Structure 1
Amino acid sequence: MKVRALLSPLLQLLVLLLLWLVLFQGTSFGEMDGADEQNKVRIHIGELQHDIKVQLDKIEEKNEAESQILNQLDEINRKVSRQKAKTTVLQRRLADQEKLLHDLKEKIDQAEEKRSRLQGHLLKRLRSFYMMGRVGMLNVTFSKKELPELMLFSDAFANLAAYDRNVVLQYRDAMNELEQALLSRELEKSLLEELVQQAEEEEQVLFVLRAEQQQLLKAIKQEKNIYQLAVDEMRKAEQELYDDLMRLRIEEKLDKEQGLLLGKGHLSSPVTGTVLYRFGDIIQTGVRKGDTIQGITVAIESGTTVHAVYKGKVVLADYKRGYGNAVIIDHGGKYFTITARLDEIFVHKGDRVEQDQEIGSSGDVATLYEPGVYFEIRHGRTPLDPLEWLQID
């Protein structure tokens, strides 16, 4: 059936929509350079615009199909109305015919009753006529009445017999007419019953056809709603991608101009711990006794994970003399962060990192010679006080 035929493309569309949501909604641009991010967004916008056009074309096709079905439903409804009117007329004629048959049967019953009465009356007359017999010598000889009187009586009885014969003949003719009329009406009734049955069957066919068209229309509306939902979701995603593109352009511009300055005072600490040395403190012990601290040192527990305080590009992820294992990140705007004394490094030179992304871990080995994780912020070659930039618990 046509309704089943619609289910296959509908399921395909649902699968396509789910795949699209997975592929597009789950896309992360954080691991790409700004230019790569913008190019990727532009490609996705182009793909979305193409997909939107495809879905709009499908919606237009469904609109045309819906219009055709609505026209067919209108024609079916008109046929149903005509068929109902035809059935009503036939049923009315059939009812009239049944009334005529009922009247004819009543007339026949009345005629039968009249015939019964007439038959009794005729039997009495015939018995009398038989008892009297013919007017002959014996009747004249032995009758108390004279011959003229007997002759008059005989003639009168003969006239009555003739009258009765005519009545019987008229009754027979009337009965034949009634029976013929009854037969004709019954035949006409039978024909009308067949016509009524045929009209009702045609009406049922129209009802079934209308139900099928209505079901098909419902399926088309559902499919069109799915297409429209896909268009709405794609347009929403398109707008989000446009917003992302604008955001990326703004961020790219701000990163070039300001970089880490955008997060000043709101950056989370690279590690959780207690600050041992602050910016500008003089080291009192160890091999660097007397040196001025250009960053901060945070006491940590073994196995503590270290995070990037802001997004940027890794420019060094290796051992650096005087720092140990270190990660240097370029945050744009000539701002850099240095995170040192790491046991393990999780990133590589050239990687793009996001704010709070894990970049390494620190432990006992890394802090063997100097305690804690070391962290610096620099603008060009100038060291800055990290505590003015970080939120330290």
Structure 2
Amino acid sequence: MREKITHLYNKLRASALCTGALLCLAFAAPTSWADQGQLDGVKQEITRQQSQLNATQKKIDSLQKTLKKQETGIADTARKIHRAEQRQQELTNSIRTLKQQLATLEQQQLGQRELLGELLNTQYRQGRHSQLALILSGQDQNRLDRFTVYAERLSQARSRALDELTATATELQLKQHQLREQQAEQTTLLASLKQHQKSLEAERKQRQKTVRTLKQQVRSDNRYLGELKSNEQRLVKEIARAKAAAEAARRVPMDGLARHKGKLPWPVKGRVIHNYGSSLQGELHWKGMVIGQTQGSQVKAIYPGKVVFADWLRGYGLLLVIDHGKGDMSFYGYNQTLLKKVGDTVQGSEAIALVGDSGGQEQTALYFEIRRKGNPSNPRQWLIR
């Protein structure tokens, strides 16, 4: 019996499950107490605590799924707002151009009307001296011929002036129609934008509740440490999968980052909250850096490459990964929304995402990491000082 209890005790220590008072008391008791009833009690306590751990883990997993759904919803709304704002700017520029064109056309129309008036007046005056009257007057034939040519040219000029005036009037009507349409679209877009922003605010409030509940569930240091380790394992797994997909689908040559060390632009400009290598939790350290910046700020690619991952990943929120070739990759996490999808090629300094707090973060920032052949590298060494 003693051997059975000792064996069970060792198993419990290995599993870090000795947390209940009853369990610890049973292991500390004299051998004479360790009868079959107490052993059954120990087993029941083990089962109870294991069930409790399983239930807690299920709650954490469920909350993470809820968080993913909420944050991807926020990302979709934020992307709609971003596109609406871009269209709004396009419309503003287009309306400004149309108004300038209208002013030019109105001036042109005014000049054409004046010219047409002068031509009609000239033709009227000429009409007072008809060709028949000139012939009967017995004037010189050369003069009559010149008068006839002049009359024909005057008539042609009047016809051209009328055609130009008609064309200007038609173009003016078209521009006015375009202006009315774009102004109507702008009004509709502004209303839609306000609605999206209202929805975004409501979604953020729901997300904050989920984040608070989630943090309560993982408040234990050991549990939080386990969550962080799991997040790292998920990232490594996704890197391997994305790398395999990139190798299979590569269509553009990429030369890697080696020749650009210390010359690359920052993905965002802001205060560095966490540095590479600083303590994260227990024996874990940051494998990238966290740069604080306001929500919605543009995240820029540090170098040309191909997007190999663009999705929500537990612990990293909305994450985008760019393959730069030769085993070099850059990671951009915690985003509010992603502006690129898997398979897109990007240029250096091109906007790829908007800064956010996805992944359950408490402040808006960008998680930025560089990996070379799967190994993390200090990002500061690659960025412009």
Report the TM range for the smaller structure's normalisation: 0.3 to 0.5
- TM-score relative to the length of structure 1: 0.37
- TM-score relative to the length of structure 2: 0.37
Which of 1 and 2 has greater Rg? 1
Q: Which has the higher contact order (CA 8 A, sep 6+)?
A: 1
